[in-house]
Amino acid sequence: MAVKAAPAGAPGTAILLVTANVGTLFDDTENLQKSWLREFYRSVHTHKPHFLVLHCQEVGGKNYEASMSHVDKLVKELLSSDAMKDFNRARVYLDENYKSQENFTALGNFYFLHESLKNIHQFDFKAKKYRKVTGKEIYSDTLESTPMLEKEKFPQEFFPESKSSRKGFIRTRWCISECAFDLVNIHLFHDASNLTAWDSSPSVYSGIRQKALSYVLNSITDHRYERVPYFIFGDFNFRLDLKSVIETLCAKTKMQTVRAIDTNAVDKLIFRESENDRKVVLQLEKKLFDYFNQEVFRHNNGVALLEFDKEFSVFKDRLYELDISFPPSYPYSEDSSQGQQYMNTRCPAWCDRIIMSHSAKDFLLKSENEEKLVIYDNIGPNICMGDHKPVFLSFRLAAGAGKTNANVHKCCVVQ
């Protein structure tokens, strides 16, 4: 089913931004990847974008040395499938060079341009000018020398516990109908231990993510290039404030502490009801969050838990996010028959997000005559998509919206 352009009478340029942590897709390419692609194509067909952007994290999966060959198959499928045949231009940037551990981020950026989209250019960071986008091009081993993007792995001291961290960001810049903007793919640090996350509010991991995101914001808004509106989307690894969540969910329980025999370190926390045969409500270990009632995280899309989603609030003066109305995006079961089930490894959280500068809000064209021109949601809510559900933002870009100054128009001429 080919993707047709948005209706001619619809205002603006249709944009679809998608973020997807695809780490688990390469463990089951036969089943999981097929269902993932089917749901992705369905979303593309539904929203009919002129400009489609897919930001991926953990490209190649956990065992990337063995799985990188599967990445090439996925790329070929995306570029040649019948569903994508009307996108006649593409740019793919894959950080596949895992042998260069000091630079490896496992990020993948995909940009697809519909044949009906005429006025779009990509920024050359070295030449400091925009270039017309023609044909389909793939870049992988040469990302460090590619002038069409900026890529950086976070400094090791940001997260010294993880010697093999693949966390970082990739930035590209685009100009459509005189609107210049940055698109940033990001992967922030995870919670290494539930027990450590439970220790304090906010957790030590929250502070690490805050430091890394500040680093990215300072990098993309420094004075090397003209400042433009920006969208940052990826796996932020934002977690609920675990201490507050547990204190709320387990308010009427008593906690039992289990310590390791050899080190006396806390090995497990067990929360039991005082009555009701001392029923176990929650078991917490380093990589176990076994709560007796998952429905709490699914009921009404989990919105009652948004009060514990506090990590973004630190950046509200610099960043904007649409209201979240979809369930926590992680950690879903990888069982193909359990599309709505969470794994009991982590407390479910909205890790996958699409946020933007306040100046980028002007890009989100809204019309009283057309409902749902701006949609922020997940993909495949009832289908197994791996441990992360992809998250998307669909909107229309009004010509000239958010123009910062005359220089934007000047630099958007064909070079």
| Distant-in-sequence, close-in-space partners of 236: CB < 8 Å, separation ≥ 6 | 186, 188, 209, 213, 311, 312, 351, 352, 353, 355
**And the tokens for 380?**
């495949």
CB 411 within 8 A of CB 180: yes
Could you read off the pLDDT of 71-126 as tens digits, one per residue?
Answer: 999 999 999 999 999 999 999 999 988 888 888 999 999 999 999 999 899 999 99
Residue 268, classified by CB atoms within 10 Å of its CB into exposed (0-12), middle (13-18) or buried (19+), is: middle
Buried b (16+ CB within 10 A) or exposed e, 202-223: bbebbebbebbbeebbeebeee
Alpha carbons 347 and 334: distance in angstroms, whole number: 16
Overall pTM surpassing 0.75 (yes/no): yes
Select from 68, 169, 48 the least CA-distant residue to 112: 48
Alpha carbons 23 and 217: distance in angstroms, whole number: 25
Q: What is the mean pLDDT of each run of 10 residues along the chain (415 residues)?
A: 48 93 87 94 97 96 81 93 97 90 92 95 98 96 91 87 82 95 97 96 96 97 96 98 97 95 94 91 98 96 96 97 97 93 98 97 70 88 96 88 51 52
Give the fold, CATH level 3, of 13-239+296-411.
Deoxyribonuclease I; Chain A (3.60.10)
SS3 of residue 376 by DSSP: strand
Which residue do the tokens 């809000």 mark? 361
**And the tokens for 293?**
């009632």
**And the tokens for 114?**
């519909």
CB 321 within 8 A of CB 373: no
Phi, then psi, of 358 in degrees rounded to 5:
-60, -30
- Asked if the peptide bond before residue 202 counts as cis, ω within 30 degrees of 0, the response is yes
Alpha carbons 192 and 209: distance in angstroms, whole number: 12
**Partner residues linked to 168 by β-bridges:** 153, 187
